[in-house]
Amino acid sequence: MAQASQIEWTDATWNPVTGCTKIGPGCDHCYAERFAERWRGIKGHPYEQGFDLRLWPSRLGIPVSWKKSRMIFVNSMSDLFHKKVDRHFIDQVFDVMEEADWHIYQILTKRSSLMRNYLRRRYDKKPIPSHIWLGISIENSGHKGRIDHLRKINSGALFISFEPLLGPIGEVDLSDIAWVIVGGESGPRARAMAPEWVIEIRDKCLQGGIAFFFKQWGGPRPKSGGRLLDDVEWNGFPWRKVPKEILASMQEPTGKLH
Give the separation between CA 236 and CA 161, rounded to whole angstroms. 13
In a domain, 10, yes or no: yes
In a domain, 137, yes or no: yes
Specify the length of the chain in residues.
258
Task: Using the CB atoms, write b or e for 120-158: b if 16+ within 10 Å.
Answer: eeebeeeebeebbbbbbbbbbeebeebbebbbebebebb
Does the pLDDT at position 167 exceed 50? yes
Per-residue pLDDT tens for 70-79? Answer: 999 999 999 9
Assess contact for 149 and 155: CB atoms under 8 A. Answer: no
Give the separation between CA 50 and CA 37, rounded to whole angstroms. 4
Per-residue pLDDT tens for 101-123? Answer: 999 999 999 999 999 999 999 99
Closest C-alpha among 148, 131, 120 to residue 96: 131
- The mean per-residue pLDDT over the stretch 21-46 comes to 96
In a domain, 195, yes or no: yes
Q: What percent of the chain has pLDDT over 70?
A: 92
- The mean per-residue pLDDT over the stretch 128-132 comes to 96
In a domain, 258, yes or no: no
Per-residue pLDDT tens for 172-208? Answer: 999 999 999 999 999 999 999 999 999 999 999 999 9
Give the separation between CA 213 and CA 191, rounded to whole angstroms. 20
In a domain, 143, yes or no: yes
- The mean per-residue pLDDT over the stretch 146-153 comes to 97
Structural domain harbouring 132: 2-249
In a domain, 254, yes or no: no
**How many domains, in total, are found in the chain?**
1
Give the separation between CA 162 and CA 164, rounded to whole angstroms. 6
The whole-model pTM stands at 0.92
In a domain, 209, yes or no: yes
In a domain, 256, yes or no: no
Question: Which pLDDT score is estimated for 147?
Answer: 98
- Reduce the secondary structure of 189-212 to three states and give it as a string: CCCCCCHHHHHHHHHHHHHHCCEE
- Reduce the secondary structure of 68-87 to three states and give it as a string: CCCEEEECCCECCCCCCCCH
116: Cβ contacts below 8 Å, ≥ 6 apart: 149, 150, 152, 153
For all residues of the chain together, what is the average pLDDT?
92
Question: Which pLDDT score is estimated for 240?
Answer: 62
Secondary structure (DSSP) of 112-176: HHHHHHHHHHHTTTSPPPTTEEEEEE--SGGGTHHHHHHHTS--S-EEEEETT--S---S---TT
